[in-house]
Structure 1
Amino acid sequence: MDRPFPPYELDVTIRDFLFGSAAGHDNKLNDFLHRLGPVACGTLRTMIHNPFANGSMPGSWKMGDTIPIPKPGKDPCRPESYTPITLSVLLKLTEGMIRRRLSALLPHHPRQFGFTRSRSSSDVVTIVIGKITRGLNEFGIVKYERPGGGAPTRHAHRHRSLVVLIDFSTAFDTVDDGKLFGMLDRLRRLSPRTKRWLHNYLRGRYVRVCTREQHSRKQLTSAGAPQGSVPGPQLFLHCVDDLLRRLDNIYSAAAFMHADEQTLVASGADIHACAAGMQPALSLISTWAAEHNLKINVAKSEAALFYISLHTLSDGDMVDLHLGNGQIRIQSRSVRLLGTTIDRLLNFGTHAPTASKQTMPRR
């Protein structure tokens, strides 16, 4: 990890940079990097390695210009409706070279699918649908009283599946740096020099907002993974991997994550059994979020019950799950998981027409 950066590492990282990207506060463009000669590349490689070897970073590289990009369909008058993109070409180049080394030293939990090579949101959707189907294919025996009396009849009864989608509010911006530092310090695979550089990288960062060629005053950031950075997602995933490891000890519910979006699946004979299996996982998540200063948006979190047979009276019961500082009501409804609408009968009657329109060629 501490060895000098060879020329091929710089070449491969520059090759990944796209032409035409916007410049940062230093007015450097990605196109500039693609046109560097051998001598300039050697000088740039030395500029990157020397601060890394000392466990430091130039102060000018910690200054980021943040350009707010409006989210589609959101109210433009609300600050949370914008995605901040921070631009700094030299810093992103340094991050890209170090990320390649960090990825081998920071393996992620097998049920984390965000920002991970050879994994995508489609994997989460496929696995969750498989878990739902497996639960619906389990059977129990239910006794029904005969209207005229006599011995009750016994019928096979399909189980139910419960899916909970948890929304963390601004998780990247509010992750506790102190907790993250503690986790990094406990990693024996990281050398003291690398840990020192990561501490320096996360501390003392300034941002300012740029819009319509106007700049705000710079502001010191006190928490969160660097927005728009290259290793920022890796560091964030390393933090939330701790949650997935804790959830490994709860066998009544299966948990999956795509970056900061969490999905849980539990199965049971009826809605009450599903809720009983899901609640321990939700209680653990609430405790973990409080420990790491992360807020759970209960209003945007969902709980959906999936079932096929209709002759179970308890399916209509009002059952609430405790999550964070609130409650979410279990309902039989469609849910939108990472861009895919999953309906109760799993026939994709709602999602298929929408996906078909999106893939139709424009004329």
Structure 2
Amino acid sequence: MLSSCIFDSFDHVSLPFLANLFKHIKSSSTSLDAVPPWFLKSGFKTMGPSILSIVNSSLSNGSVPSCLKHAVVSPLLKKPSLAATELINFRPISKLPFLSKVIEKVVFSQITPFLSINALLDEFQSGFRAGHSTETALVKVLNDLFLASDSGRAVVLIMLDLSAAFDTVDHSILLKRLECEVGFRGTALKWFHSYLKDRTFSVNFANVSSSVVPLKYGLPQGSILSPILFSLYMRPLGSICRRYDISYHMYADDTQIYFPLKVGDEQSLQSLLLCLNEIKIWLSNNFLQLNEKKSEIIILGPSNFKERVVSILAPLEMTVKDNVRNLGVIIDSSLSFDKQINSVVRSSFYHLKIIAKLKPFLSFNDLETVVHAFISSRLDYCNSLYVGISHRQL
């Protein structure tokens, strides 16, 4: 279905706008930057007009210079204890040219109001959106779970695991979706075509670089545009869930679906199975891979009912668990938060003991920073979910 909203061109930005953007963008440098970002920022009064010309030329011509579409990937060992001889133990960290990030931020600043005003992002997509967070996503989901529980219904919650979802996005499908469903046309669509196509990368490890390799699929890691483009790529998934009257929520590529049902009404689970089957077909057609073995199911309801539900859901090859980690918060089948609270307390005490040993060597300000980084951040994360817990748990 063609979108009735049209975004066909970008506006030129002014020098004051660009100067303000430079103040807030990080000065992280890569081997791709001929001129260090700190030098560009410090000399902006002199070099600003030239940078502005590059940015506005990219926007008006609908093109991204090829030198700004190359990424350097540095493998980072996930944990020091892991074997460096196994590739699976490394996490790829992609670094983009500084000027590429500048242009991306300008584009981001213009498309987000368009998407927001025209409600083009799924209302249940909370990833990387103003006024949304993992906390707001969990508040919505848990509120629905509590409402279902209070009304005497059971709930089947499924956490879908997508394997390297950002890396398998098909550019042609995404561009078609941007044109037909979102409304990007003209030079705006041409810009996204140029931005996605003919990207390259090389791997740098121990100061040794690989040859340049074309990147035919996926979204650029580290780009401010990638999360929002992925959200638009995933738009049809919500339509599938709504067709079967299945509740859902997404945070970027973290997708969860949940289905309240009356205790004893196991037959209604057929609609959930049909929905999941259509989701799997859609994911496959869009080059996204559902990892069923890593996807998790948690059932909220009486134990005898859970057993019957498990037998019905057996063909899914998903793991049924008593508790799951949902966007960093442990949810148990009784919604008691006991395991989550114990996890936070245990982790906080562990780091507190380490900080106590470091205390003699730190200034008060440094000590305060460390405490906030390792203790307060854990206590504050999604703390609105603790409203209503018992005094014993507090």
TM interval, short-chain normalised: 0.7 to 0.9
Describe the shift of the 1:97–1:358 C-alpha distance in structure 2 as closer, same or farther (beyond 3 A).
farther
Alignment of 1:234 with 2:247, yes or no, is no
SS in 2 for 1:299: coil
Report what 1:111 is aligned to: 124
Describe the shift of the 1:14–1:24 C-alpha distance in structure 2 as closer, same or farther (beyond 3 A).
farther
| Amino acid paired to 1:319 | S
Report what 2:19 is aligned to: 11
| Amino acid paired to 1:255 | Y
Report what 2:141 is aligned to: 128
| Amino acid paired to 2:342 | P
Rounded Cα–Cα distance in structure 2 between residues aligned with 1:65 and 1:340: 33
| Amino acid paired to 2:145 | I
SS in 1 for 2:161: strand
> Mean alpha-carbon deviation: is it higher for 226-235 or for 333-342?
226-235
Alignment of 1:213 with 2:207, yes or no, is yes
- TM-score, length basis structure 2: 0.79
> Mean alpha-carbon deviation: is it higher for 268-277 or for 104-113?
268-277
Describe the shift of the 1:353–1:30 C-alpha distance in structure 2 as closer, same or farther (beyond 3 A).
farther
Describe the shift of the 1:162–1:188 C-alpha distance in structure 2 as closer, same or farther (beyond 3 A).
closer
- TM-score, length basis structure 1: 0.85
Report what 1:142 is aligned to: none
Describe the shift of the 1:249–1:188 C-alpha distance in structure 2 as closer, same or farther (beyond 3 A).
closer
> Mean alpha-carbon deviation: is it higher for 63-72 or for 94-103?
63-72
CA contact (8 A) 1:87 1:228 kept: yes
Q: Deviations over 1:320-340 (max 9, x none)?
A: 5388xx5325x3510110110
Q: Deviations over 1:204-227 (max 9, x none)?
A: 001001122111111101111112
Rounded Cα–Cα distance in structure 1 between residues aligned with 2:247 and 2:87: 35
Rounded Cα–Cα distance in structure 2 between residues aligned with 1:226 and 1:123: 26
Rounded Cα–Cα distance in structure 2 between residues aligned with 1:285 and 1:234: 21
Instruction: Structure 2: give runs of 5+ residues left out of the alignment.
Output: 1-8, 357-394
Report what 2:175 is aligned to: 181
| Amino acid paired to 2:253 | D
Rounded Cα–Cα distance in structure 2 between residues aligned with 1:80 and 1:174: 20
TM-superposed deviation, 1:71: 3.5
Q: Deviations over 1:250-300 (max 9, x none)?
A: 21x201000001011111123725633422321221121011011111111
Describe the shift of the 1:71–1:40 C-alpha distance in structure 2 as closer, same or farther (beyond 3 A).
same
* Aligned with 2:94 (options 61, 85, 100): 85
Matches of residues 326-341 of structure 1 in structure 2 within 5 Å?
327-329=317-319, 331=320, 333-341=322-330
Q: Deviations over 1:66-113 (max 9, x none)?
A: 122344587752347414322211111111111111212334111001
Alignment of 1:316 with 2:329, yes or no, is no
Rounded Cα–Cα distance in structure 1 between residues aligned with 2:163 and 2:182: 31
TM-superposed deviation, 1:15: 2.1
Rounded Cα–Cα distance in structure 2 between residues aligned with 1:266 and 1:248: 11
Matches of residues 1-363 of structure 1 in structure 2 within 5 Å?
1-19=9-27, 21-72=28-79, 77-79=86-88, 81-106=90-115, 107-139=120-152, 159-186=153-180, 189-251=183-245, 253-270=246-263, 272-273=266-267, 275-307=269-301, 309-310=302-303, 313-317=304-308, 318-321=310-313, 327-329=317-319, 331=320, 333-359=322-348, 361=352, 362-363=355-356
CA contact (8 A) 1:282 1:322 kept: no
SS in 2 for 1:101: helix
State the percentage of identical aligned residues.
20
Describe the shift of the 1:70–1:237 C-alpha distance in structure 2 as closer, same or farther (beyond 3 A).
farther
Describe the shift of the 1:52–1:315 C-alpha distance in structure 2 as closer, same or farther (beyond 3 A).
closer
> Mean alpha-carbon deviation: is it higher for 199-208 or for 236-245?
236-245
Rounded Cα–Cα distance in structure 2 between residues aligned with 1:233 and 1:332: 29
Describe the shift of the 1:185–1:13 C-alpha distance in structure 2 as closer, same or farther (beyond 3 A).
same
Describe the shift of the 1:201–1:332 C-alpha distance in structure 2 as closer, same or farther (beyond 3 A).
closer
Q: Deviations over 1:102-155 (max 9, x none)?
A: 21233411100111111111122222211221222223xxxxxxxxxxxxxxxx
Describe the shift of the 1:319–1:78 C-alpha distance in structure 2 as closer, same or farther (beyond 3 A).
farther
| Amino acid paired to 1:222 | K
| Amino acid paired to 1:12 | N
Rounded Cα–Cα distance in structure 2 between residues aligned with 1:54 and 1:229: 21
Report what 2:377 is aligned to: none
Length, aligned pairs only: 336
